[in-house]
Amino acid sequence: DIQMTQSPPSLSASVGDSVIITCRASHSISFYLNWYHQRPGRVPNLLIRAASTLQSGVPSRFTGGGSGTDFTLTINGLQPEDVGNYYCQQSYSIPTFGQGTRVEI
């Protein structure tokens, strides 16, 4: 299996801040990396696919980058509705998810 490691495990930031979450794969996965946001008690919501493609309807303050083994999710201008957990997921082989990053305000 390809292991996905996210950092930090949690973070606290203020409204309007820029936030960066990183995801590292144990093997190269090219651009096969997706990001999800999950609010408490809700279904995961796809934000970014193929490392950097913003899913339709997702605010432009979300940006994905990286390739190979190192990826980032950047939130430019954190909003109250952005709280929750963020997960990366590789789709290069058998799908695996990162352990999540909890974002608080």
Closest C-alpha to 103, from 40, 44, 58, 55: 40
Q: How far is the CB of 65 from other proteins (least distance, A)?
A: 16
Instruction: Work out whether strand 10-12 and strand 101-104 pair parallel, antiparallel, or are unpaired.
Output: parallel
Q: Which of 14, 60, 80, 94 binds other proteins (CB under 8 A)?
A: 94
- Asked if 1 is part of the footprint of other proteins (rule: CB under 8 A), the reply reads yes
Query: Rounded CA gap, 73 and 92, in Å?
Result: 18
- Asked if 95 is part of the footprint of other proteins (rule: CB under 8 A), the reply reads yes
Q: In the chain, where do the E strands start and end?
A: 4-7, 10-12, 18-25, 33-38, 45-49, 53-54, 62-67, 70-76, 84-90, 96-97, 101-104
Query: Rounded CA gap, 21 and 72, in Å?
Result: 6
Binding string, residues 10-49; x marks residues near other proteins by CB under 8 A: ----------------------x-x-x------xx-x--x
Of residues 53-72, which lie at the interface with other proteins (CB under 8 A)?
A: 55
Q: Which is nearer to other proteins, 44 or 68 (CB)?
A: 44
Positions in the binding site for other proteins (CB under 8 A): 1, 32, 34, 36, 43-44, 46, 49-50, 55, 87, 89, 91-92, 94-100
